[in-house]
A and B are shown apart, each in its own frame.
Chain A
Amino acid sequence: MSSQEHYGSRLPYKFLIGVVTLVIFFLEAPLIILVIQSFTAESYLSFPPPSYGIRWYKEVLTSEDWLNSISLSLTIAAIVTPLSLVLGTMAAFALDRGPKKLKNGLQTIMIAPMVLPHIVLGLGLFKMALQLDIDDSMLAYIPAHLTITIPFVVISVGASLQTFEQSLEEAARSLGANRFWAVWYITLPIIRPALIAGGIFSFIISFDEFIITFFLTTFQRTLPIEMFSTLMYQVKPSIAAVSTLTLAVTAFLTAMLILRGQVTSGDKVIK
């Protein structure tokens, strides 16, 4: 699969390389430009910036509005990620160990929120939150975010459990460990890459979630909502600085994901 000597002549291959280079340029160039622009020392955005500095990072990290929204987003993601991992892993175990004839049906239910457009999900959740009078609070955000993050954990952990050798766990149990400790000491360490992937996905999805939270909030602002309202008002260099900060965190997490050799997206697992 990895040979350069693929079928056919070299000319189409060179053409392919050209096209792919352009596509990668299209994907990455805007982000690189954004990062460069965020280091401008001027009061406006231009490319390339006439002078460089970290003025706008200072501004962001001392502005109360930005700090409040960053901390709200981080708090939500920090609560959602472990909960999503626990619930999602439990569900993945149930699907893997439960009756085979129910597996497909139950799996469809478990990942159903993933195929529902977030605009529709957000609308429904908003109605529900209004009925229960919990809108504009953590009580609304946390369950809402969990609903969209759990499917990713179910998929990544489920894929990993499929290749897990169950006899290892049985060996531990035959040596006297009860089921919980057998899973704790044997299974979970082995499927750790999948747990890390599920956790990273949960964190990033929650941190980046816009439309559902947009429905649920009135006064509170998560980072994406703060960015959105700032954008609608004026495009200042501070928005590029905030974007770069977000980008740095996600790029780091992505690199970790790929270097760990576990990339899960949709129902495809690429090793």
Chain B
Amino acid sequence: MSRNSDENYGALWLLTPTVLLYVATFFVPIIMLGVLSFARFEMSVTTIGFYFDNYIKIFSDGITLKIFFQTVRLSLVITFWCLILGYPVALMMRSCSPKMKMVLLFCVVSPLLTSIIVRNVAWLLILGRSGIINDTLIQWGLTSKPLPLMYNEFGVILAVVHVYLSFMVLPLFGALNSINSSIEEAASSLGAPSWRVFLSITLPLSLPGIMAGCTLVFILSMGVYLTPVIMGGNFVLTLPMLITESVREQYDWPFASAMALMLLLAIGFMVILSSGVQKLVGRR
């Protein structure tokens, strides 16, 4: 490393190990999935080529497309609830005392670092057939049969919202924090009631955070595997479950790859859509 070499470009050699790693663990594998998705799978034999069998199968087998749209719908519902529950927390973090902010920050950040499976176990113990809620209800004689609180969409949505809520709060807090509060003070000193200040100033100005948080949570929810399996049993099927099953049980790599690419496509579409919305709003 000579000191007189072009300082700018000389620093780039530091990227080499990571780039080499990514080529082997990220770029080549994704290309392989792309190639495989056009392969043909017959009698457990994979033939590489340029066939559209798998994509045709996705649209015509009657179940895959349905599960895909179910995954999209669940992800949208999860994103919606994260926004509804996360926005008040971000708003509070912005306006409370520094000490309180620390406490809230801990509550918001700690789930990010808490094992997902641990949190699913926690819900299992609460919502399960002999979980706390059902135990208590039966003990008090309020119900004779356990309520179906999990192994359905309700359980899945609740547990995934619990896992991803933090990913919504942090971008929201970032956006809210960058709003100059004197604008709001000006509006309220001119007599605007607080709901009006919120609706016409705070909310629109925090839109970049809303979009960022929603996009992030949507992407994460589209790919989540563990929580729906634990909380949904086999009663709530999602695309990631289908992908895993077709590889691990049927060894149908081409079909699994096609579904994986479809998942990526849906996510890419969402990212483009949200950046489009942000540009549109920014121009206003």
Closest CB in chain A relative to B272 CB, distance in Å: 13
A106 to B166, CA, bound (A): 27
B167, CB-defined interface residue at 8 Å: yes
A53 contacts the other chain (CB 8 A):
no
Interface membership of A78, Cβ < 8 A: no
Contact of A98 among B9, B109, B219 (CB under 8 A): B9
Q: Does B53 sit at the interface, judged by CB under 8 A?
A: no
- Tell me, yes or no, whether B250 is within 8 Å of chain A by CB: no
Question: What chain B residues lie within 8 Å of A58 (beta carbons)?
Answer: none
Which of the four size classes fits the interface of chain A?
A: 35 or more
Cβ contact of A34, chosen from B118, B177, B188, cutoff 8 A: B118
Chain-B contact segment, one of A17-25, A62-70, A185-193: A17-25
Chain B residue at minimum C-beta to C-beta distance from A25:
B107
Q: Let me know if A233 is at the binding interface, CB within 8 A.
A: no
| A118 and B85 form a contact (CB under 8 A) | no
Query: B residues within 8 A CB of A87?
Result: 17-18, 21
Task: Classify chain B's interface size.
Answer: 35 or more
Identify which of B54-62, B89-97, B276-284 touches chain A: B89-97
User: In the complex, are the beta carbons of B223 and A119 less than 8 A apart?
Assistant: yes
| Min C-beta distance of A255 to chain B, whole Å | 7
Q: Establish whether residues A9 and B194, one from each chain, have CB atoms under 8 Å apart when the complex forms.
A: yes
Check A270–B173 contact: CB distance below 8 A. Answer: yes
Residue from A1, A147, A235 within 8 A of B128 (CB atoms): A235
> Which residues on B sit within 8 Å (CB–CB) of A117?
219-220, 222-223, 240, 263-264, 267
Q: A8 at interface (Cβ–Cβ under 8 A)? A: yes
Q: Are B109 and A258 in contact (CB under 8 A)?
A: yes
Closest to B161 in A: A26
Point out the residue from B105, B114, B123, B128 that lies within 8 Å of A247, measured CB to CB: B114
The answer to whether residues A20 and B89 also contact, given A12-B194, A106-B15 and a CB cut-off of 8 A, is yes
Which B-chain residue is minimally distant from A10 (CB atoms)?
B194
B48 to chain A, nearest CB (A): 13
Residue of A nearest to B109 (CB): A263
Q: Does B165 contact A (CB under 8 A)?
A: yes
Judge if A251 is at the interface, Cβ distance under 8 Å. Answer: yes
Task: Return A110 CB to nearest CB of chain B, in Å.
Answer: 7
Distance of B141 from chain A, by nearest CB (Å): 17
A42 at the interface (CB under 8 A from B): no
Q: Flag if B22 contacts A147 (CB, 8 Å).
A: yes
- With a cutoff of 8 Å between Cβ atoms, the chain A residues found around residue B123 in the complex are 30
Is residue A260 within 8 Å, beta carbon to beta carbon, of the partner chain?
Answer: no
Least CB separation from A45: chain B residue: B125
Q: Does A175 contact B (CB under 8 A)?
A: no
Q: Find out whether the CB atom of A263 lies under 8 angstroms from the CB atom of B260.
A: no
Interface residues of A in 221-240 (CB under 8 A from B): 224, 227-228, 231, 235, 239-240
Q: How far is the CA of A38 from the CA of B75 in the complex (A)?
A: 32
A61 at the interface (CB under 8 A from B): no
Provide the residues of chain B in CB contact with A165, threshold 8 Å: none
A118 to B181, CA, bound (A): 39
Q: Are B36 and A47 in contact (CB under 8 A)?
A: no
Are B117 and A210 neighbours in the complex by a CB distance under 8 Å?
yes
Chain B residues near A128: list those with CB within 8 A. Answer: 24-25, 28-29, 32
Q: Find chain B residues with CB under 8 A from A19 CB.
A: 88
Residues of A within 8 A of B111 (CB): 27
Is A268 in contact with B174, judged by CB distance below 8 angstroms?
Answer: yes
B113-149: CB near A (< 8 Å → 1, else 0) gives 1111111111111101000100100000000000000
Q: Which of A215, A254, A266 contacts B106 (CB 8 A)?
A: A254
Q: Which 4 A-B pairs have the closest CB atoms?
A: A8-B194, A117-B223, A124-B29, A30-B122
> Using a CB–CB distance below 8 Å, which chain A residues touch chain B?
1-4, 6-9, 12-13, 16-17, 19-20, 23-24, 26-28, 30-31, 33-34, 37, 45-47, 87-88, 90-91, 93-100, 102, 106, 109-110, 112-113, 115-121, 123-128, 131, 143-144, 146-147, 150, 178-180, 200-201, 204, 207-208, 210-211, 214-215, 224, 227-228, 231, 235, 239-240, 243, 246-247, 250-251, 253-255, 257-258, 263, 265-266, 268, 270
Given contact pairs A215-B247, A268-B173, enumerate 18 new A-B contacts (beta carbons under 8 Å). Answer: A7-B185, A7-B187, A20-B89, A28-B107, A30-B126, A33-B122, A34-B122, A90-B18, A94-B12, A96-B11, A102-B12, A119-B243, A123-B256, A127-B29, A214-B244, A258-B106, A270-B173, A270-B174
